[in-house]
Amino acid sequence: MRATMSEAPSSAEMFSDEAIYKRTVRGQRELLRSDGTAMTTAHRVLARVNGFTNLRNLIELSPGDAREMVQAIRQLFADELIELVDLTSH
């Protein structure tokens, strides 16, 4: 899996059960700025992304529709708030 934005990952890489995401510096700032009162699906996903938990477990831990979560991940990734952890170096 790739972690750099310069090489966009495929949908298969992004949504593999074993895909692991971490917040970018920008994502961390966004999370800290949020007051938590009106948390969208994307903000809930951003709060749960930790660089260790794989996508399957994130989906299992998240209430609601998996399709909403997939859309949130796409948006967070496009906004450069999260990135894939490079598992090839471990």
- Residues 43-61 pLDDT 10s: 989 999 999 999 999 888 8
Mean pLDDT of 13-40: 88
Q: Is residue 43 part of a domain?
A: yes
Using DSSP's 3-state secondary structure scheme, residue 8 falls into coil
Domain interval for residue 62: 11-89
Per-residue pLDDT at 1: 42
- Give, in degrees to the nearest 5, the angle at Cα 85 between 48 and 62: 25
Domain total in the chain: 1
Any domain includes 5: no
Residue 6, domain member (yes or no): no
Is 3 contained in some domain? no
Instruction: Note whether residue 1 is domain-resident.
Output: no
Give this prediction's pTM: 0.81
Mean pLDDT of 74-85: 95
Q: What stretch of H or E contains 22?
A: strand 21-23
